[in-house]
Amino acid sequence: MSPSTRKVPVSTSFERVSRLSTGYDVREVDDFLARARAAYEGRDESFSPSEVTSASFSSERGGYSMRVVDEALDRLSDAFALRERDAAIAERGEEAWVRDLTERAETLKERLERPAGERFAPGREGEVSYDRDDVDVLCDELVAYFTQGHPMSVDDVRRAAFRRRKGPAGYSEAVVDVYLDHVADVMASVP
């Protein structure tokens, strides 16, 4: 299916949590997904596909199930990545696309080759950071994925959870999150 005919795999009628539970704000989610759909269909050039991975929503009682919406956002992110892949292949050819993807993967792999405990910037004083050991375990799995074909899915990266630390005792959350978004983007681009 060409990028122009492929449909965005996202429904805007999500499962809701009970009135006593907290979910995502229904209006915010619906508005965001309407913008994303318009962008995917080429009707909104102001929307960037990177907004999907950085999307956040307020919470409300009886809102949309957070798990279900997060899974839909993952599918949407994959759809944008595949659309970008298809467009790049159509424009420059498959060899150029593979070369670019390989270069991106090599750039990501360079950080993974740093010694454990030194792969990312430390957290800032007074801010919450990610446990270095937890992040390094995931990084070791990514090294095996990139170098030895270790089986791993993009969801393994997206769903990774790390214990919390304070400030410089851990890795900076923002730096790790951006890096893992890039890793997920590369992984999602591979059919």
Say if residue 9's pLDDT is above 60: no
Q: Which backbone phi and psi does 102 adopt, to 5 degrees?
A: -65, -40
From the DSSP assignment, how many helices (H) and strands (E) are in the chain?
7, 5
Residue 16: pLDDT band with limits 50, 70, 90: very high
Domain ranges of the chain: 22-91, 93-189
3 state SS of 56 = coil
The answer to whether 77 and 111 have CB atoms below 8 angstroms apart is no
Say if residue 61's pLDDT is above 80: yes
d(CA 143, CA 111): 10
pLDDT at residue 2, rounded to an integer = 44
Model-wide pTM > 0.85: no
CA 46 to chain centre: 20
pLDDT tens digits, 127-144:
999 999 999 999 999 999
pLDDT at residue 102, rounded to an integer = 87
Residue 27: pLDDT band with limits 50, 70, 90: very high
Enclosing H/E stretch for 45: none
Q: Which two tokens stand for residue 94?
A: 């498959």
Enclosing H/E stretch for 20: none
